[in-house]
Amino acid sequence: MKQNKIYKLYKDLRKKHGKPQDQWQLWCRRPKTKAEREEVMVGAILTQQANWKNVDLAMDNLKKARKAKISAICALGKKDIQELAALIRPSGFYQQKANYLFYFAKFICEKNKIANYFSVQPLEKLRKEFLSLKGIGPETADSILLYALDKPIFVIDEYTRRLAKRYRLAYNMDYAYLQKLFESKLKKDYRLYQDFHALIVIEGKNFKK
């Protein structure tokens, strides 16, 4: 495809940073196992207002307690939401996130009873369903859709906004506007979206003003 400014940025970031590494190795892994997809889902919720180091600590707690699977989180949330909150404490806002995780896990468990539900449903329908859940906003919903379910939707976060400002890609920093902008300039490919967004975050964390 013709290299527009946004696609050229992707190529430049890929040349500069290579394939996304560290915490992004799991999120950009293709294909993923069911357990890996579920870990990304949980991580997308835990990472709200938290850094990766603390999210990793919370994930380690869940794994050690054998509560990292969606079904286990659902069961634990029904039995003792405070135990779930204690396990994810390192991620911050743990009382709220315990509820968010429980309601999300409950939704996933219910839909998993329908064969191939997440692979056959239209992206727009899944996004609407995710956004109806407590504690799931556009960034979290789109992260789950893109990284856990391989749906071609571009994630907009603060790093993406900073990049847009830095390179004067847009003056409107509205979520929906930026998402439409990036998607209109890129091939509709979840693999490209995964790698590009990951590289934007890596660049943002390394960029020195």
Give me the DSSP letters along 61-85.
HHHHTT--SHHHHHHHHHH-HHHHH
| Position 169, amino acid | L
> What tens digit of pLDDT does each residue of 10-63 get?
999 999 999 999 889 999 999 999 999 999 999 999 999 999 999 999 999 999
Sketch the domain layout of the chain as residue ranges: 1-23+153-209, 31-149
**Per-residue pLDDT tens for 104-142?**
999 999 999 999 999 999 999 999 999 999 999 999 999
Which structure tokens are listed for 176? Answer: 């929906």
Q: What are the CA-CA distances from residue 185 to residues 3, 36, 71, 130, 182 (Å)?
A: 9, 30, 38, 26, 5
State residue 207's pLDDT score: 76
Compute the Cα dihedral for 131, 134, 136, 138 and give only its sign.
Answer: positive
In the chain, % of residues over pLDDT 90: 95
Question: What's the CA gap between 184 and 178, in Å, rounded?
Answer: 10
What SS3 class is residue 46? helix
pTM for this model (two decimals): 0.96
Output the pLDDT for position 206: 84
3-class SS at 39? helix
Q: Give pLDDT, residue 52.
A: 94
Confidence at 3, pLDDT banded by 50, 70, 90? low
pLDDT at res. 208 = 56
> For domain 31-149, which architecture applies?
Orthogonal Bundle (1.10)
